[in-house]
Amino acid sequence: MGLTEWVRRDQQPAEAPEPVTEVAPTAEPVAAIEDPLTEQTPVESPVVVPEPQPEAIPVAKVSEPAPPSVPERDPPAMDWDALRAQVARCTACALHETRTQTVFGVGQTQADLMLVGEGPGEQEDLRGEPFVGAAGQLLDRMLAAIGHSRQSTVYIANVVKCRPPGNRKPHAVEADACRGYLEAQIALVRPKLIVALGQVAATGLLGEDAPVGRLRRGSHVHGPSGTPVIVTYHPAYYLRQPLEKRKGWDDLKRIRARLAEPA
């Protein structure tokens, strides 16, 4: 039997307080939601006195780095005379400082076949016409083998219109500066087929930096104009590697077959 300890009432500990029942906040009166189809007396919204805010500390604006400056240029002209004149006075890249003259393009201004090379060499810079040196003479013979010539059926242009010093390959920024001119030439000639002569031309037209050996096996399209493109070696390559001429002949036959296809 346990002992019950008696404690006097006035010495007993205070009773634990009643638990407080939380009262859910009263829901918004439904009438406050306006029915857009029924006219209702507008319910005045209570005036809300904004609490004073601590003064905002001004934050110094971090200035964004300036974008690289691209010189403002007129869009390429869309008729032959104006485009030729625009190219002749172009100073969009450093190549204009060392050129004798610009080398615009040659051939038929409306042609099914357009050839694109990389840029003028020494002879072209002196004469103002593309492909007039040793590689150009070979190109003329190749074209003749499939019944074409710059005098009667093709248009020829380069990715860049000014000679890169020492016949180096044009830099990407130089090709970019000239791109609008080449695209305008393509839009004016409206060829059925473009042939890219060498890797620089292929990259300039297709934006693909792959070896010609791979590109010549694929089928390509010049994006801005939607014109089919065949990639082949630059004629200068056959001057250096005459045993590769067989590939050039295979490509010429493909070009001829492509041009014979119905549009």
Amino acid letter, residue 184 = A
Non-local (6+) Cβ contacts of 50 within 8 A are: none
Candidate segments 56-64, 89-97, 106-114, 129-137, binder of ligand URA by CB under 6 A: 129-137
Selected binder of ligand URA within 121, 164, 180, 248 (CB under 6 A): 121
| Binding letters toward ligand URA, positions 99-118, x by CB under 6 A | ------------------xx
Residue 120 as a binder of ligand URA (CB under 6 A): the answer is: yes
Q: How far is the CB of 188 from ligand URA (least distance, A)?
A: 19
Measure the CA–CA gap between 47 and 45, rounded to whole angstroms: 6
Candidate segments 22-30, 126-134, 207-215, 244-252, binder of ligand URA by CB under 6 A: 126-134
CB-nearer residue toward ligand URA: 105 or 180: 105
| Binding letters toward ligand URA, positions 138-177, x by CB under 6 A | --------------------x-------------------
CB-nearer residue toward ligand URA: 31 or 237: 237
In 3D space, the residue among 84, 65, 66, 68 whose CA is nearest the CA of residue 76 turns out to be 84
CB atoms within 10 A of CB 171: 14
Residue 199 as a binder of ligand URA (CB under 6 A): the answer is: no
Backbone angles phi, psi at 197, to 5 degrees: -95, 95
Measure the CA–CA gap between 263 and 247, rounded to whole angstroms: 26
Measure the CA–CA gap between 170 and 158, rounded to whole angstroms: 11
In 3D space, the residue among 130, 155, 113, 111 whose CA is nearest the CA of residue 252 turns out to be 113
Q: How far is the CB of 123 from ligand URA (least distance, A)?
A: 8
Measure the CA–CA gap between 120 and 130, rounded to whole angstroms: 6
Indicate if the alpha-carbon torsion angle 4, 6, 9, 13 is positive or negative. Answer: negative
Selected binder of ligand URA within 115, 135, 182, 252 (CB under 6 A): 135
Residue 76 as a binder of ligand URA (CB under 6 A): the answer is: no
| Size of site (CB under 6 A) for ligand URA | 12
**Contacts to ligand URA by CB under 6 A:** 117-121, 124, 130-131, 133, 135-136, 158
